[in-house]
Amino acid sequence: MSIAGMVLGIVSLVAPIRLLAVITALVGLPLAATGNGVDKRRGAKNGKAVAGVVCNVLTLAFAVLLILLLGFTDYTL
């Protein structure tokens, strides 16, 4: 789950379509967070899960900022 969350986080950062970025971030964030918990319980390194959480949160924060600044009509560009 950690790798899937990290990959979706990276895809959400580089996605050319903002709506696609938000969708992948919304899917990737729970995957990365769950992977983080699983890795901690197993005693494994959780760097990939943390990277996924950070990338997904950055994408969602940037999306909220753009919606607040540009409004909903210009967000789909």
d(C-alpha 71, C-alpha 63), whole Å? 11
Q: How many domains does the chain have?
A: 1
The single-letter code of the amino acid at 48 is: K
14: CB partners within 8 A, 6+ apart: none
Question: Is position 76 within any domain?
Answer: no
Residue 25 lies in a domain: yes
The one-letter amino acid at 60: L
Residue 77, in any domain of the structure: no
pLDDT tens-digit map of 38-70: 988 999 898 999 999 999 999 999 988 888 887
Domain presence at residue 75: no
Give residue-wise pLDDT tens across range 24-42.
Answer: 999 999 999 999 999 889 9
pTM listed for this prediction: 0.84
The alpha carbon of 35 is separated from its chain's Cα centroid by a whole number of angstroms, namely 13
- State whether the Cα torsion 51-5-58-21 is positive or negative: positive
Contact present, 1 and 38 (Cβ < 8 Å) = yes
Range of the domain at 42: 2-70
